[in-house]
Structure 1
Amino acid sequence: MMQLPLFPMQMYLLPGGISKLRIFEPRYIRLVKLAMACNDGFGLCMKNDKTLCHFGTRVIITDFEALPDGLLGITIKGVEKFIINDHWEEEDGLIVGEVAMLENWSKSDIKFVDRDIANSLKTLFREYPEHGEYYQEPDFNDMTWVCQRWLEILPLETNQKQWFMSRVDNRAAMSFLHTVIEEELKKR
């Protein structure tokens, strides 16, 4: 068990995922200070309406910058999934959670039957560079990495995203992606 400051938002980031955030609210400036001081990072979690979802991702801050508009920009990287056992709101509105870390999905080699999933992600990164711009060394040979990037990009409902986070391995994601991508390829 560990306590983490939580950043609730609709962003879906899984272990290995990288993104940028703009920080301007005082409670989230404090969150950044706490995350940097203890090196534990913070919890990125989703909301379903006004309710915090059960699963989230512990992220670390890998870089920060002063943005042209004077706000703080941070680059974050997903480290591991967690489940929220309890949470509370502090005086300044910052939510802190008591969380238990979950095991990350194991790395798995791309098999011949999975090549369309990996190749489609490569194509998407080429055609829409904003999705792949943070990945200096994409790992298209690791099915777990490929599945997680697809799940971050696809427009899924919050409850679907939470369900995938609750899985102990990438099999459900692979099955889902095979269906989605094969359907898409048939349309072409």
Structure 2
Amino acid sequence: MQTIEMTLFIQEAVILPGGRQEMRMVSPHQLAMVASVLKGHYRLALAATKSNSYPPCYDIATECEIIDFHQLSDDSLSIVLEGRQRVKILSAAQLKDQSWIARTLPCQNWQHEPIAEEFEIISAALEQFYEVNPDLLDLYNQVHLEDAAWVSQRWLEVLPMYNRDKLLLVDQPNCHKTMDFVLQLLKSHVDG
């Protein structure tokens, strides 16, 4: 496989393929990064922050596309990112403007698969989560509550977990461990 040079957007957030998040761009290097992506100079990869590391992020990231943007009332820029492809960061360097450029290698995304009957509660709980958080639901034109990979990745994006724990699950070959994890979490919440 061929490596791809990407600009790194390093954040606390995790976005996975098919996921969407709105991000506020305030610093000059963030605005320059957005401009270079929109001009087609670089592709964009979102990587989760990792302390005491060089680069300061985990080596699993997600190539994202900027699908929308608008100016906020405080004159900062808001962009909506959509995750496309998981990538592994092979190397990275920080530029003078404080932005990061990385050499990446595409990883296999989780394959779409129907939700097995015993996991339907996970899909129903995500639907309820979106009803309580309509701002997140509004980012999507369509939800795929029938797809185990889509549902489990959305849970990983929103669960309050350490990024290292999320990325241990993301690094699995399929969504099965994540589905088991979320199911146990929901059962313990109901039983507790």
User: Is 176-185 or 90-99 further displaced after alignment?
Assistant: 176-185
Shift of the 63–131 alpha-carbon distance from structure 1 to 2, 3 Å rule, reads: closer
SS at match of 2:39: helix
**Which of 165, 168, 190 matches 1:185?**
190
Alignment of 1:13-24 (within 5 A): 13-24=15-26
Question: CA–CA distance in 1 between the matches of 2:79 and 2:143?
Answer: 20
Shift of 1:128: 2.6
Judge conservation of contact 2:86–2:106 (CA < 8 Å) in 1: yes
Counterpart residue number, 1:95: 100
Counterpart residue number, 2:40: 38
Question: CA–CA distance in 2 between the matches of 1:130 and 1:34?
Answer: 28
Judge conservation of contact 2:63–2:83 (CA < 8 Å) in 1: yes
Question: Cα deviation per residue 1:60-80 (whole Å; 9 max; x = unaligned)?
Answer: 000111111111111110001
> Does structure 1 residue 78 correspond to structure 2 residue 72?
no
**Which of 28, 31, 44 matches 1:29?**
31
Judge conservation of contact 1:66–1:73 (CA < 8 Å) in 2: yes
Counterpart residue number, 2:124: 119
Question: CA–CA distance in 2 between the matches of 1:27 and 1:164?
Answer: 31
> Does structure 1 residue 155 correspond to structure 2 residue 160?
yes
Question: CA–CA distance in 1 between the matches of 2:114 and 2:49?
Answer: 33
Question: CA–CA distance in 1 between the matches of 2:42 and 2:179?
Answer: 30
Question: CA–CA distance in 1 between the matches of 2:169 and 2:15?
Answer: 12
- Structure 1 stretches of 4+ with a deviation exceeding 6 A read none
Question: CA–CA distance in 2 between the matches of 1:73 and 1:21?
Answer: 6
SS at match of 1:12: coil
Using the size of structure 2 for normalisation, the TM-score is 0.92
Shift of the 112–40 alpha-carbon distance from structure 1 to 2, 3 Å rule, reads: farther
Question: CA–CA distance in 1 between the matches of 2:137 and 2:191?
Answer: 25
Instruction: Work out the percentage of aligned pairs sharing the same amino acid.
Output: 22
Alignment of 1:57-68 (within 5 A): 57-68=62-73
Shift of 1:40: 5.8
Structure 2: runs of 5+ lacking an equivalent: none
Question: Cα deviation per residue 1:119-143 (whole Å; 9 max; x = unaligned)?
Answer: 1111111123233221231110101
Using the size of structure 1 for normalisation, the TM-score is 0.94
Shift of the 140–40 alpha-carbon distance from structure 1 to 2, 3 Å rule, reads: farther
